[in-house]
Amino acid sequence: MTTNTHFTNPPSLLVIDDDPEVRMLLSELFAREGFRVEVATDGAAAILFLEQHEPPAAIILDLLMPGILGSSVLAYLGSTPALEHVPVAIVSSSPHLAPRGYQLFKKPLKFASLLEFARKACNGAQLASATPS
């Protein structure tokens, strides 16, 4: 079921996955739903992106990638005050490696539940940015 939720100021999602097919599928899925989608091909590219851009509303993260693993990206997020509260969904074909405390989506992915995560995370981010300090 596609709702085609389109935002006036689209929230951004960062998709971090070394599999080009997964990146393409997720990018197209989220873009069709009205999100602004950024991609990183591995943990190093993700950290570089996060250091150079505003925090995304949510992150979709693969765990097993060449070079810097998803667990290292999680450690980076947790040690960076501007990023520590960004919601993260882990997508992995090795769910037993996922640390506790993160929403987990096992590959092959069920897109409806992943879309629900993104909508909730981004709605929360929009509400937080609209709330006066």
pLDDT at 56: 96
pLDDT at 109: 87
pLDDT at 47: 97
pLDDT at 122: 85
Closest CA to 109 of 61, 73, 68: 61
pLDDT at 133: 40
With the C-alpha atoms ordered 76, 79, 82, 84, is the resulting torsion angle positive or negative? positive
The helix/strand/coil state of 133 is: coil
Closest CA to 109 of 23, 3, 32: 23
Per-residue confidence in pLDDT tens, the chain, 133 aa: 344 455 568 899 999 999 999 999 999 999 999 999 999 999 999 999 999 999 999 999 999 998 899 999 999 999 999 999 999 999 998 888 889 989 999 988 888 999 999 999 988 665 444 434 4
Q: Measured between alpha carbons, how far apart are the two ends of the chain, in Å?
A: 37
Domains of the chain in sequence order: 12-130 (3.40.50.2300)
pLDDT at 10: 87
pLDDT at 5: 52
